[in-house]
Structure 1
Amino acid sequence: MLPVDLPGTVREALLAPLVDHHCHGVRRDDLSRAEFELLIGGEDGSPSPPGTTHFDTPFGAAVRRWCAPLLDLEPHAPPAVYLARRAELGAAEVNRRLLAGAGVVAFLVDAAAGDIELLSAAEMGRHGGAAADELVRIEEIERDVAELSEAAIDYLDSLGEELSARAARAVGLKTVVGSLFGLDFDPSRPATGSVLAAANRRLADPKEPLTDPVLLRHLLWSAIDVARERGLPVQFHTGLGGSALDPHRADPARLGAFVRRLQPLGVPVILLHCYPYHRQAAFLASVHPHVYVDVGLALPHTAAGSARVMDELLELAPFHKQLFSSGCHGVAESAYLGALYYRRALGTVLRGRLGAGEWSSTDAVRIAHMIGSGNARRIYRL
């Protein structure tokens, strides 16, 4: 799994249990080939073109190479053989093997509903032999409040109350505002009158996804208030998988104006899955004391190229500002491969730094522990 010429202490640090600071639940039911391929094809869940397969991607090839042995198959098992063995073992056993194999000591789970077949945070922990805590997605709370509110003033009151109540049981808040209208939004708090008017429009059709920019800004600032009060970080989904709009609008640098407004408040801002904008995110993390970064999804989805991504992140981002996440979603293979490619990528980069005399073995050990678990324990107060 790791470069063979790493010092023993560095290898031990890389193989130490990880804190997966952002993941989702995985399916609890057995999957058809079509269902499995949709889940390994990326967060947009699109099928591959006719006559092709999502196994012919870096992630799909990694499933066959690295996950097959955990299911008692030879590496590079054909897709049909892999899926037949997966079905033979059953979802529960597959989930147990792969989640436990990731070597994670704590899962922080985005508990947003939407698929009743997903494992809960507690179940993710039990299957993986780890602790588990919840991350609260603020857009889900807004939807629940909108569906139950009868008047705009009730909506506004209930939104703040529900955000506070849910945050009391969570270790962090999460927003997908970038997926809804990009990251280059007006950073100011909206005026009360405009929020009330927007709330009235929202309640006319509360089951639709929230797209009103005034209410999105109000929701975001309400979440920031709760996070400040409770000392919680706020995760922003950026970059890979972070925007259904023009991909350029997922560039985390577009959050700069909003980030600057948050600095006096002391609310930690965590930029998730920043590839291919990880260098811009690294710059934000280097100049703002409250900004943190990970490249989560990019590592298993670039697979053999993951060391280049990690190397570029380490060019500028402070080591105490970087975090590990798998971005796991849908299938347990994503949790296992997220951890595996994180360790392989960081191991390759550490070997290069050590060989160039840039870092000592003691430095490499400390950095591996910080990124793998220590930073997350500090930020999320685990």
Structure 2
Amino acid sequence: MLDLPPLVDHHCHGVVRGDLGLGSFEPYLTESNAPAAPGTTFFDTQTGFAVRRLCPPLLGLDAHCPSAHYLARRRELGAYESCRRLLRGAGIGTFLVDTGLPGDLTGPGELASAAGGTAHEIVRLESLAEQVADTSGTVEGLLANLGEAVHSAAATAIAFKSVAAYRHGLALAPEPPGPGEVRYAAGRWLAGRESGGRLTDPVLLRHLLWSAVATGLPLQLHTGFGDPDLRLDQADPALLTEFVRATAGLGTELVLLHGYPYHRQAAYLANVFPHVHTDVGLALTHTGARASAVLAEFLELAPFGKVLFSTDAYGLPELYVLGARLFTHALGRLLDEWVAEGAWSAADAERVASMIAAGNARRIYRLPDGG
């Protein structure tokens, strides 16, 4: 049994504030935007089975109880009390929260209060640019306001994040775009954009990445699987190799999120580039009973001082429980095996587990002890 410090969840999102029935609960169990197969629900997945195994005891029910009983108990307790019990049962002490998703979601402060922990904000670059564009009528105004917005965000945020993998793919030219390219791209985006229009222009995406690099804050990059907006083959972290080379030595730590099914490529990049770090994020939540197999593949090559823990939980407090419990169970199972085989000492296993659970994140994001 591992003796872990409170986990640092270095990448997550807010949870919904209201009560949920089956129809509004189960879409959060999948990355799909389509209904489940006829005659089934998304509880019929590794994620759904893990919810029924790990979450009912935190709400006073037996593990593996029917989903209808679980959701009835959830409604009986109410959204806030259910959220409080689940978050406090996850074992997470610090939350780094990406606030760039739409919807009625809890902010970092609310999440920390419910969990009895601490929280910090991660600013999503593309969402920030879209907010700026909504109030900027000219190219000059957009670029000036965007520069100021990134600078202001850097004063309070713990990190930046990019979802360029969704908006264009990771096969971007690695160098910073020139001023003329940026002005032309900004003009084209403004001219064709209605309020709320998404940023997909590769030149502006590169401009955002390099603007974030210039602040010196850690930069998170979505890689690997996600919802259907994404083309999976364009989210392979190996496509970032030249960008990684171009940012070496500049003082900005790059953090590759999720990776799956390209988690071995992410591990390779962390192995060979000093400023690259990585996690498997929500892959463990979605692989459920196979989480230890995925984590074992990831740890084949990734240096242990480069590996971070995250849940990528979104919408449901249950996903924090799954991300944390599946991670700690998978890591404990692997390390117990390696110690029993004589490959690792027990002392090394405990030290590495503590690094991955919290220590690496505290160092990379410059977090104070206990905060």
What count of residue pairs does the alignment treat as equivalent?
Answer: 365
Residue 213 of structure 1 pairs with residue 172 of structure 2: no
SS in 2 for 1:109: strand
CA offsets, 1:20-61, max 9 Å, x none? 00000001101121110111122x443213322100000001
| Distance (Å, rounded) in 1 between the aligned partners of 2:36 and 2:248 | 43
For the pair 1:72 / 2:60, whether they are aligned, the reply is yes
Residue correspondence of structure 1 range 330-341 to structure 2 within 5 A: 330-341=315-326
- In structure 2, the partner of 1:194 is 181
Pick aligned residue for 2:338 from 345, 353, 366 = 353
Q: Aligned residue for 2:235? A: 250
Q: State the alpha-carbon separation in 2 of the partners of residues 46 and 175 from structure 1.
A: 25
Equivalent in the alignment of 1:3: none
The answer as to whether partners of 2:33 and 2:227 remain within 8 angstroms in 1 is no
Alignment of 1:361-372 (within 5 A): 361-372=346-357
Would the aligned equivalents of 1:178 and 1:243 in 2 still touch at CA under 8 Å? no
Structure 2 gaps of 5+ residues are none
Q: Would you say 1:31 and 2:16 are equivalent positions?
A: no
Render the CA deviation track for 1:175-198: whole Å, top value 9, x for unaligned.
Answer: 101111111111122222221111
State the match for 1:128 in structure 2: 115
SS in 2 for 1:373: helix
The residue that corresponds to 1:48 in the other structure is 36
Greater CA drift, 147-156 or 192-201 = 192-201
Using the TM superposition, give the Cα deviation of residue 113 of structure 1 relative to its aligned residue in structure 2, in angstroms.
4.3
Can you list the C-alpha shifts for 1:296-320, whole angstroms capped at 9, x where unaligned?
A: 1011211110001111111111100
Question: Does residue 279 of the first structure (1) align with residue 264 of the second (2)?
Answer: yes
Identity %: 51
Whichever residue aligns with residue 86 of structure 1, its letter is R
- 1:88 alignment partner in structure 2: 76
Alpha-carbon distance in 2 for matches of 1:23, 1:147: 26
Residues 60-79 of structure 1: CA distance to partner in whole angstroms, max 9, x if unpaired?
01111110111111111111
**Paired residue type of 1:367:** V
Aligned partner of 2:221 in structure 1 is: 236
Matched, 1:12 2:3: yes
Runs of 5+ consecutive residues of structure 1 not aligned to the other structure: 1-5
1:376 pairs, out of 345, 348, 361, with 361
Paired residues of 2:171 and 2:239 also in contact (CA < 8 A): yes
Decide whether the 8 Å contact of 1:138 with 1:175 is kept in 2. yes
Residue 377 of structure 1: how far off its partner (Å):
0.4
Name the structure 2 match of 1:154.
Answer: 141
Counterpart contact for 2:46–2:287, Cα < 8 Å: yes
Moved more, 359-368 or 197-206: 197-206
**1:266 Cα deviation (Å)?**
2.1
Amino acid of the structure 2 residue aligned with 1:110:
D
Q: What's the offset of the Cα at 1:352?
A: 1.4
Q: State how far apart, in whole Å, the 1-side matches of 2:353 and 2:99 are.
A: 28
1:257 and 1:242 map into 2 onto residues whose CA distance is 26
In structure 1, give the amino acid aligned to 2:10. H
Give the TM-score, by structure 1 length. 0.93
Q: Could you tell me whether the CA contact under 8 Å between 2:284 and 2:327 is conserved in 1?
A: yes
CA contact (8 A) 2:33 2:228 kept: no
- Give the equivalent residue in structure 1 for 2:132: 145
SS at match of 1:370: helix
Q: Any idea what SS the aligned residue of 2:315 has?
A: coil
1:59 aligns with 2:47: yes
* Matched-pair contact (CA < 8 Å) for 1:176–1:242: no
Amino acid at match of 2:111: M
Match of 1:122, SS state, is helix
In structure 2, C-alpha distance between the alignment counterparts of 1:242 and 1:221, rounded to whole Å: 26
